[in-house]
Amino acid sequence: MKFLKHIDNYLICYILVIVAVVQLYNSQFDSLTPWKGGGFGMFSTNKTTNITAVGYKSNGDSILIKVIGSKFNVPISNTFLTSTKNYPKKENLRKLGMQIIHSYLKPTTVEIPANIDKNTLDHINKNERFYKLVYEPKYYENDDTAHAEDAIKIQSLKIRVFETDFFENELIVKKKFIKEIEINY
């Protein structure tokens, strides 16, 4: 009887603690970002995780890969990509790399933002051939359709994970290297 009275008095508190723990867990280890209510917004941050990828063709040429997800889960699911960005474990990065390597990569032109800094723009101009095209993972039903769109396959891949932090004072952006992984076909 005393136990039931205790639960009756504190039921709301127990529910709030359970919801907070679930939210905190999902914001740290699943696809819930701190900006989307992870932990009721208490843990909101302006840090973002960026995943960059460079692929290597069989002839040794390197290509820039745009790591994007699809709502149709082909070849990379949006949920999996978000989860990997939030918690970039080696297993998830390796799985992401295998999904990229096993898919075709469709070429698209690089869109350079207008507000890019001078040093980065100079670097892009010096390496024009590398930054001319970016490749996106895409699913094709057959090889003929992929070849008609000039889609290619790669032999190996290097994935790098960075954390970007935005600081209000001086309006600066800082990138911090987190980890790198190489995947071979």
pLDDT in tens, 142-176: 899 999 999 999 999 999 999 887 776 766 777 88
Indicate if the pLDDT at residue 141 is higher than 60.
yes
The residue assigned the tokens 């990569």 is: 105
Q: Which pLDDT score, from 0 to 100, does residue 128 have?
A: 84
Instruction: Look at the alpha carbons of 13, 18, 19, 21 in this order and tell me if their dihedral is positive or negative.
Output: positive
Nearest to 62 by CA among 70, 71, 54: 54
Q: Where residue 55 falls among pLDDT bands split at 50, 70, 90?
A: very high
Nearest to 82 by CA among 47, 32, 43, 46: 32
Pairing of strands 133-138, 62-65: parallel
Q: Which pLDDT score, from 0 to 100, does residue 151 have?
A: 93
pTM: 0.71
Indicate if the pLDDT at residue 84 is higher than 80.
yes
Which one-letter DSSP state was computed for residue 72? T
The one-letter amino acid at 16: L
Q: Which pLDDT score, from 0 to 100, does residue 105 have?
A: 93
Tokens of 138: 């895409």
